[in-house]
Amino acid sequence: MNIALILAAGVDPGFRMDIPKQFVVVENRPLIVYTLQVFQEHPEIDRIVVSCLSGWQEMVRAYAKQFDITKLTDIVEGGIDAQESSWKGIERLREQCRMDDVVIVHDAIRPLVTDDLISDSIRVCRKEGMGVAAVRSMDTIMLTQDGKTGRESISRYDFRRIQTPQAYRLDYLIEMHQRASEKKMQHSVDNNSMIAKLGETIYFSKGSDFNIKINTVEDVEMFKALYHMKQKIVRKKEELE
C-alpha cells in the first residue's frame, strides 16, 4: 500500500495574510485542496492522511467532502514542526498499516506536485528504501556566516535542493524517528534532514523547479501564474488529441 502523509500543521509568522498558508483560497479552492486532489487522482496512492494544524481538522474534513477527496482516511493533529507532525502521522499509520507499506510525505504548500514526481519517489523507494525529490541548482552557492559576505563558493554540481514528496518504507521511518528521539534530535525541518543527521545515505528521486513551496504572498501569485500555464498546456494537448 502507498499512503500519502500530507503535512499541513505549519504556521509562518512572516506570512503576510490572516490565514495559514495551506488554507489560503486561490480561485475558490484552498491551497491544500490543490495538493490533495493530485494525490486523490494518482492511481498508485491508496490512502491519504493529513497531519493538520490544531483547530483546522474539521475544516479539512469539510474540504474533503466538498471536493470529493475520498482517499482521505485520517486527520491527526500536527506538531510544532515538521519532524513532530510527521511522527504524529506515522504513529497513526503504525496502528493500521503493514511495515513494508510506503509513506509518501508531502508538504501541503507544494500544490504543483505532479504524478511523475510522486511515481518516481515511490519507484526509487521500492528499489532503495527511500525516494527524496531533489533538483539541481542553476546558480552558484556561497557559504556565509553573517548573511552579508561570503568566503567559500560551492559548485552547483556538488549539491541538490531537497523538496517533497519524500517516500519511505513505514518501518524505516519509525526506526529513524525512534533513533532521533533517543539522541534528543528535535526540530528537523523535514524527515530527510533528520535522517541525514543520523548518518544515513539519502537516495534522490525526481524533483522539479515548478514544484514550488508557498512561503510568501509573492509565491501565491507565482502559483497562480504557473497553475494557469499548466492548465493551458493541458487544454492544448486535449485539443491536439
CA 184 to chain centre: 24
Q: pLDDT tens across 106-146, in order?
A: 999 999 999 999 999 999 999 999 999 999 988 888 888 88
Q: Which fold has domain 2-240?
A: Spore Coat Polysaccharide Biosynthesis Protein SpsA; Chain A (3.90.550)
Residue 17: pLDDT above 90?
no
| Rounded-to-integer distance, Cα 191 and Cα 188, Å | 7
* 14 pLDDT tier (thresholds 50, 70, 90): low
Is 168 within 8 Å of 205 (Cβ atoms)?
A: no
Q: Which of 97-101, 137-141, 220-224 has the lowest mean pLDDT?
A: 137-141
| Rounded-to-integer distance, Cα 196 and Cα 14, Å | 28
> What are the respective helix, strand and coil percentages of the chain, to the nearest 5?
40, 20, 35
Q: First-to-last CA distance in the chain?
A: 33
Instruction: Give the start-end residues of each E strand in 136-203.
Output: 141-143, 152-154, 161-169
Q: pLDDT tens across 36-89, in order?
A: 999 999 999 999 999 999 999 999 999 999 999 999 999 999 998 999 999 999
Question: Which residue in this structure is represented by grid cell 545515505?
Answer: 201
Per-residue burial over 199-236, b = 16 or more CB atoms within 10 Å of its CB, e = otherwise = ebebbbbbbeebbbebeeeebbeebeeebeeeeeeeee
Residue 31 is predicted with a pLDDT of 96
* 34 pLDDT tier (thresholds 50, 70, 90): very high
Residue 77's H or E segment, with its range, is strand 72-77
Could you say which DSSP state residue 138 is in? S
Q: pLDDT tens across 155-184, in order?
A: 787 889 999 999 999 999 999 999 999 999
Q: What is the pTM of this model?
A: 0.92
User: Residue range 92-119: average pLDDT?
Assistant: 95
* 13 pLDDT tier (thresholds 50, 70, 90): low
